[in-house]
């Protein structure tokens, strides 16, 4: 198994690879855990992702890393600068369920820590559902500290859920 992490600003994705990313985000086992997702057709979402990736190089609010296993897209990570403080960035990460438990998210986050340091970011945060024990485990394993529990912050699937915020000072 060969795992590579690619900086999409340096090596842009091919159209087929953008489709793979959309398919990860739309996978029911992934969507279940996402706090924000667009409920729209595949074609519409693909159009939006294509526009996003095609203008990524000019977008200084976000960086994207992609993980490939044996050449196939296994997961990706977006590093978003916060609106109110560009020295703080929020991590969003998803792995295709076919590749869960193989270290994809761990490696993506490790690489994002290096990238963030290079870009002068002073703090990383991960916001996730309180019950997302896998994401919480990965964050804790990499040294992120629980900073806040936002009670009943997320309305999802007909119910209010707590959100946890982890942070890592760089
Ligand atoms: C969370 C997610 C990104 C993890 O991706 P991944 O590539 O499988 O993660 P890794 O393989 O690097 O690490 C998984 C870790 O969780 C552990 N784990 C597995 N099941 C677990 C459970 N039920 N509770 C706690 N930890 C668990 C694994 O043992 C592994 O830890 P280890 O490396 O110490 O052995 C992936 O499950 C996913 O895409 N989920 C849906 C989207 C999501 O939740 N994104 C995060 C929103 S911010």
Give 79-129 pLDDT, tens digit per residue: 999 988 889 999 999 999 999 999 999 999 999 999 999 999 999 999 999
Tokens found for residue 70: 């044996």
Give 52-85 pLDDT, tens digit per residue. Answer: 999 999 999 999 999 999 999 999 999 999 988 8
Structural domains for the chain: 3-121 (3.40.630.30)
Alpha carbon distance 148, 44 (integer Å): 35
64 C-beta closer than 6 A to ligand 1: no
Q: Residue with the nearest Cα to atom 5 of ligand 1? A: 105
Q: Is 68 in the pocket of ligand 1 (CB under 6 A)?
A: no
Nearest C-alpha to atom 28 of ligand 1 is from which residue? 101
Helix (H, G, I), strand (E, B) or coil at 137: helix
Using the predicted structure, report yes or no on whether residue 14 has a pLDDT greater than 80: yes
Which pLDDT belongs to residue 157?
84
Measure CA of the first residue to CA of the last residue in the chain; give whole Å: 30
- Among the atoms of ligand 1, which is closest to the Cα of residue 106? 12
The band of 156, judged by pLDDT with boundaries at 50, 70 and 90, is: confident
Task: Give me the sign of the Cα torsion angle 34, 164, 74, 68.
Answer: positive
- Mean of the pLDDT values across residues 23-42? 89
């Amino acid at each position: 198994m060969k795992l590579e992490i690619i900086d999409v600003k340096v090596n842009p994705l091919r159209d087929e690879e953008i489709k793979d990313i959309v398919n990860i985000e739309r996978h029911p086992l992934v969507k279940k855990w996402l706090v924000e997702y667009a409920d729209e057709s595949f074609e519409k979402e693909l159009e939006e992702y294509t526009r996003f990736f095609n203008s990524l190089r000019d977008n200084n609010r976000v960086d994207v890393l992609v993980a490939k296993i044996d050449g196939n897209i296994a997961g990706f990570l977006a590093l978003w600068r916060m609106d109110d403080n560009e020295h703080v960035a929020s991590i969003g990460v998803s792995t295709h369920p076919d590749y869960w438990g193989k270290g994809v998210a761990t490696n993506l986050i490790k690489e994002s820590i290096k990238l963030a340091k290079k870009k002068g970011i002073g703090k990383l945060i991960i916001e996730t559902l309180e019950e997302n024990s896998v994401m919480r485990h990965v964050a804790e394993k990499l040294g992120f500290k629980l900073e806040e529990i936002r009670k009943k912050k997320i309305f999802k699937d007909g119910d209010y859920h707590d959100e946890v915020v982890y942070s890592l000072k760089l």
